[in-house]
């Protein structure tokens, strides 16, 4: 778990936006050396847990907000829910950034 948000190939710092892609289980490309990076298998399940938890939390909070405010504040509910979704998503990205362990994708084992 060292150098968590650094490229394992060149030690270059990976920009935060790259972690939006990791959250979707995609490989990312290092902007410094061009290496393709994939989350470590151990971290992959952790990312899945974080993504699942944040989705459940978002749906739960949206439901709570809806039932608390009812239909009196329709626009407000939409705004609050949007804000919550954005905040939860950003938080999950930040958590992912702190727990993810990258490894370089080995091309020799794959077909092109």
Any contact of residue 37 with Zn ion (CB under 5 A)?
Answer: no
Any contact of residue 30 with Zn ion (CB under 5 A)?
Answer: yes
Any contact of residue 14 with Zn ion (CB under 5 A)?
Answer: no
Taking CB under 5 A as the criterion, the residue among 5, 32, 97, 105 binding Zn ion is 32
Taking CB under 5 A as the criterion, the residue among 4, 5, 9, 62 binding Zn ion is 9
How far apart are the C-alpha atoms of 3 and 16, rounded to whole Å? 14
Tokens representing 71 are: 């239909």
Helices (H), 23-73: 41-69
| Residue that the structure tokens 């009196």 belong to | 72
Tokens representing 2 are: 């060292």
| Site for Zn ion, rule CB under 5 A | 7, 9-10, 12, 30, 32-33, 35
């Amino acid at each position: 778990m060292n150098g968590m948000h650094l490229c394992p190939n060149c030690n270059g710092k990976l920009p935060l936006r790259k972690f939006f892609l990791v959250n979707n289980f995609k490989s990312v490309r290092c902007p410094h050396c061009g290496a393709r990076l994939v989350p470590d298998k151990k971290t992959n399940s952790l990312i899945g847990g974080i993504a699942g938890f944040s989705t459940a939390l978002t749906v739960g909070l949206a439901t709570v907000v809806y039932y608390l405010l009812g239909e009196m504040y329709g626009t407000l509910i939409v705004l609050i829910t949007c804000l919550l979704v954005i905040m939860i998503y950003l938080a999950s990205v930040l958590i992912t950034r702190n727990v993810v362990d990258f490894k370089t994708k080995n091309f020799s084992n794959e077909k092109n």
